[in-house]
């Protein structure tokens, strides 16, 4: 009898410890999205990059879904996220971002066909997942988020007018974005610069890095679909 009571007490204590630990994790995740979101994003990006086997791909899909839900829920939650532009876009720009992504993908595909350039082989499923979710999200938070804010603030502080500073920021970030993709030359490099300008334009017009990430994701998905079919 005493042994049973001891086991029950241990069970209650273990349950209390687990509940407390879960509460601490939940509070940390909720209270510090500016820290948890980039870490979670990098984790999902890495999982998606190596998700060759079906079981790993299933895990990557689940983690990606959780990332998208969490990323949406923390839009504009802290001053740092607002500084990076991780906020809800202006009215209607979720739709415009998706539409612009389709248009950009179709434009690049048409240009490649006109110049008889290849878009590459059929991508593996995990590459499509990476290119249409965590990959664009990571790149946009870095380029149209952090770097965009840094360059724009610097140009403002040296006395350049807002409109001129915005245009210069979009162009400089687009060039940096293109050259960060190693191995791209010729037409591929130029189209990457142009799409970088388009993503920057979306960031500036919508006021949201998240809208630029959606446009980037749809763009990549369109090109992946064209290569697949």
The reported pTM is: 0.87
- Whole-number pLDDT of residue 181: 85
* Cα 107 from Cα 53, distance rounded (Å): 33
Q: How many Cα atoms are found within 13 Å in the side-chain-facing hemisphere of 8?
A: 5
In the chain, which residues have pLDDT < 50?
21-22
pLDDT tens column, 81-138: 999 999 999 999 999 999 999 999 999 999 888 888 877 777 889 999 999 999 999 9
Question: Could you state, in order of their start, the residue ranges of all structural domains in the chain?
Answer: 78-228
* Inter-CA distances, 58 with 62, 126, 131, 199, Å: 6, 10, 16, 30
CB 142 within 8 A of CB 215: no
C-beta separation of 74 from 90 below 8 A: no
């Amino acid at each position: 009898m005493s042994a049973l009571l001891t086991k029950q007490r241990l069970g209650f204590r273990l349950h209390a410890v687990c509940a407390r630990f879960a509460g601490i994790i939940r509070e940390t995740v909720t209270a510090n999205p500016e820290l948890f979101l980039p870490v979670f994003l990098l984790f999902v990006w890495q999982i998606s990059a190596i998700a060759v086997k079906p079981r790993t791909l299933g895990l990557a899909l689940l983690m990606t879904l959780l990332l998208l839900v969490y990323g949406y829920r923390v839009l504009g939650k802290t001053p740092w996220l607002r500084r990076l532009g991780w906020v809800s876009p202006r009215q209607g720009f979720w739709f415009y971002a998706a539409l612009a992504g389709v248009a950009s993908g179709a434009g690049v595909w048409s240009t490649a066909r006109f110049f008889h350039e290849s878009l590459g082989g059929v991508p593996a499923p995990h590459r499509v997942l990476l290119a249409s979710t965590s990959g664009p999200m990571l790149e946009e938070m870095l380029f149209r988020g952090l770097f965009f804010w840094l360059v724009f603030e610097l140009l403002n502080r040296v006395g350049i007018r807002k409109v001129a500073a915005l245009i210069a920021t979009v162009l400089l970030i687009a060039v940096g974005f293109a050259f960060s993709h190693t191995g791209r030359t010729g037409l591929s490099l130029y189209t990457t610069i142009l799409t970088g300008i388009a993503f920057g334009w979306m960031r500036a017009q919508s006021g949201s890095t998240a809208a630029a990430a959606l446009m980037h994701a749809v763009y990549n998905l369109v090109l992946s679909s064209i290569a697949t079919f």
